[in-house]
Amino acid sequence: MKTQIKRYKVPNGEVQLAVSEIGQGQTLLFFNGGGATQVAWKRIIGELRGSIGL
């Protein structure tokens, strides 16, 4: 049986975040901070909250 991989991109301003889903169950999305502050990430997560089920 071949494992299915679902791939898509989540838009955030001028950036597209690549996402890969493998297997079953709830999706867990990891973000790399890239030097951003907690304030910046809080805003980004707030914007993503409704669109990807945070």
pLDDT means per 10 residues, the chain with 54 residues, are 85 83 75 74 78 58
Residue 38: the pLDDT is 80
Q: Are strands 15-22 and 5-12 parallel, antiparallel or unpaired?
A: antiparallel
Residue 18: the pLDDT is 83
Residue 53: the pLDDT is 57
Residue 52: the pLDDT is 62
pTM: 0.43
Residue 47: the pLDDT is 78
Residue 17's SS3 state is strand
